[in-house]
Structure 1
Amino acid sequence: MTQVVIQPSYGSKQAQQHWRDTLDQEVDYRVGFRAVTLSGQQRTALEAMHPSGEARFWGATGNHDRRMETLCTGDVVLFTGGKLVRGVGEVGCSFRNSAFADTMWVPHPDRGSWRNVYSLLSFQPTEIPYAEIWDLPGFNPNDNFQNMRFLNAEKGSAIIDGLGIETLTAITEAARQEQQVTAALAAPDAQVIAPEAVNVEHTSYTRSGGTTLVHRAEALLVQRYRATLNGVEAGRIRTAAGITDLYVVTGDGVEIIEAKRSAGHSFVRQALGQLLDYAPHSPQQTTRLTALFPTRPTERDILLLHRYGIDCVHQEDGDTFVRLPASASRRDHMMQVWASI
């Protein structure tokens, strides 16, 4: 299970200097005294994940020792400050080493060395308002995330699903398992493979400088569309099938909206599947399902949505959105399917 950590990192001058030193740029861990401070095991781990010899780093002081021992490769860190998530990172190596930490950051005057060090496999600067997190199930409005915290599984899942975070670790593991299955099925004596048969202890990582960790287009599209609703009650809810992009309640009923960053065929199919998955789990009877896109899908894909009683809404010019509704008869017919569990 991917763990999510809230890491305040921009509130003080010292934190901002740390950001400039080890997040705005990668650090060479092989040079001078810094290299000498690493144990053999720590250097081997860094070289496996960061073969270039450089990586971005962050750290935590000794008062966080117990929780930092749970930090693992692939965990997600939200770097916060000034009411914004200013960056999202994916943990690479995590270890405790005061001497190594002190080569990068001046120790805290009260809490000492930032000795709980972790590298980042991926890092993406962002400007995500806290309000987007407050809007997710389980979070409270006006929480300014002033202290480092390790989120529980439910809140962590809400962050990953709600902000559209896709880690390199998850992508790499999925690709590795696919390669394993492909190789086995291609063999002359191919057999059905049990899931445990493709599990291994180690995964190799190839970091791309262009790796996208957080998909923001969908969130921004939802924000723009939501602004057109003119005071209608709209938010996000957690269902057994996941977190909705929008859950709109009006006097006419309940609408569930799924947004996609592209109107391509594969994204239309994803929206279709997710909406049909959400509908039976709505706490109130779902009366409308809507797929939201930044451009108009093809006629074929619009008909695909309409076949299942799903409306299509797409952005046209600026803040203008066009709704292409499914027929009332098709929607009424499909509502019986939506309501069944």
Structure 2
Amino acid sequence: MRIVMQPARRSQKDVDQHYQDTIVHPVSFDDHADVLEAATVDQLKQLFPDGQAQMWGITPGKKDINVSRIKKMRPGDWVFFSGDKRIYFGGTIALMWRNKALATRLWGTDAAGSTWEYMYALSGTRGFDIPIQEIREFLDWNPNRHIMGITVLSQDESDALQTFLTLDASPAATAEPADTQDEEATVAAFDGELERTAYRAQRGEQATLKKRLLQGPTGQCALCGRDLPGSFLIAAHIKKRSMCTDDEKRDLANIAMLACTLGCDAVYEHGYVTVASEGVLQVSPLAAQVPEVAAYIHDKLTGRTVTWWTPKREPYYEWHRSHTFKAAPPT
């Protein structure tokens, strides 16, 4: 999976209108069947059974400058929309195709007479509110670097951002199968240390945290409130550990909470729930897309207030809300 940076500054009137027309209001396939190829309609309906999808497009650019970049994009890649110094929206490329007639109908043409004919449909979309400066610092970019055109990040940068923002897979057209034999050969040939010292140190830190949080053989899950044996509880970092500073990692009194392995740790880690100010447990509107997750949240978490919330822990919970929580896409 690669990550694509899509500049789309909504403070520009035409960009915001395009966003309203085909992101806020998904495109109905049947309404445009006269300009869509039958094979594309079939693929779209397989991916989106309700008959509509959020869509975006890219122009070829002057002297086709964007075409070589577009060729690097694949279904299954993540796209982040950026503008006005922030990342505000993202999702998985479900399908890509080229259709000048449909793009012109949806968005018209730009000042040069071009249209956004390299089109893609998005699945699993969610909202973000992350300053682009934070991304620059995380990826060690030049402080003055701007996302001026469609940009496909390297695999290393993509992997780092995927971990940073806990990006989950969403429906996408079938990509080329991985070469399993090559992957297995690479693993077999690796003679380095599989159990690295850093990981052992992290496990030691986890044990220390758990001892601090768990005062006896049983404890209370911060999210569902159930009293459980210690073997079913972990010291879960409120803010993703890999993104904490050294000082934050050492803030043992505030950086973590007990979360049960019976479901709460997973739904928090993947952003289906978060903790709002004053401890109110907030459920992602996207949880309904995964019925099993929605059922667990309904049975165990809906309406709860998290007693572990404190003003000192609030900065860590706030980070989770802006980086991990699956917020609704902005309108």
TM-score, normalized by length of structure 1?
0.53
User: What code does the residue aligned with 1:17 have?
Assistant: Q
Cα deviation for residue 56 of structure 1 reads 0.4
**CA spacing shift, 1:109–1:169, aligned 2, 3 Å:** same
SS at match of 2:124: strand
Does the 8 Å contact 1:8/1:81 carry over to 2? yes
Does the 8 Å contact 2:87/2:131 carry over to 1? yes
**CA spacing shift, 1:14–1:82, aligned 2, 3 Å:** same
**CA spacing shift, 1:73–1:30, aligned 2, 3 Å:** same
Structure number with bigger Rg: 1
**CA spacing shift, 1:56–1:320, aligned 2, 3 Å:** closer
C-alpha distance in structure 1 between counterparts of 2:166 and 2:2, whole Å: 15
Residue 13 of structure 1 is matched in structure 2 by 13
Greater RCO (CA < 8 Å, at least 6 residues apart): 2
Residue 167 of structure 1 is matched in structure 2 by 169
Equivalent residue pairs, number: 212
Residue 318 of structure 1 is matched in structure 2 by 311
Q: Which segments of 5 or more consecutive residues in structure 1 lack a partner in the other structure? A: 174-194, 197-217, 223-235, 237-242, 271-292, 296-313, 322-341
C-alpha distance in structure 2 between counterparts of 1:43 and 1:260, whole Å: 47
Residue 59 of structure 1 is matched in structure 2 by 57
Are residue 81 (structure 1) and residue 83 (structure 2) matched?
yes
Q: Which segments of 5 or more consecutive residues in structure 2 lack a partner in the other structure? A: 182-235, 267-274, 280-306, 315-331
Cα deviation for residue 165 of structure 1 reads 1.3
Cα deviation for residue 319 of structure 1 reads 2.5
**Per-residue CA distance 1:234-258 (angstroms, 9 max, x = gap):** xx9xxxxxx92224179xxx96999
Does the 8 Å contact 1:30/1:53 carry over to 2? yes
Cα deviation for residue 315 of structure 1 reads 5.7
Residue 154 of structure 1 is matched in structure 2 by 156
Percent identical among aligned pairs is: 22
**CA spacing shift, 1:17–1:162, aligned 2, 3 Å:** same
**CA spacing shift, 1:70–1:14, aligned 2, 3 Å:** same
Residue 99 of structure 2 is matched in structure 1 by 97
Residue 263 of structure 1 is matched in structure 2 by 259
SS at match of 2:246: strand
Does the 8 Å contact 2:124/2:171 carry over to 1? no
**Per-residue CA distance 1:25-68 (angstroms, 9 max, x = gap):** 2111211xx21111122112111111221110000001322222
CA RMSD of aligned residues (A): 3.7
Residue 41 of structure 2 is matched in structure 1 by 43
User: What code does the residue aligned with 2:312 have?
Assistant: D
SS at match of 2:138: coil
C-alpha distance in structure 1 between counterparts of 2:84 and 2:309, whole Å: 33
User: What code does the residue aligned with 1:27 have?
Assistant: V
Residue 2 of structure 2 is matched in structure 1 by 3
C-alpha distance in structure 2 between counterparts of 1:144 and 1:51, whole Å: 37
Does the 8 Å contact 1:244/1:256 carry over to 2? no
Does the 8 Å contact 2:86/2:130 carry over to 1? yes
SS at match of 1:118: strand
TM-score, normalized by length of structure 2?
0.55
1:62-211 to structure 2, matched below 5 A, reads 62-63=60-61, 64-110=66-112, 112-169=114-171
User: What code does the residue aligned with 1:50 have?
Assistant: F
User: What code does the residue aligned with 1:18 have?
Assistant: H
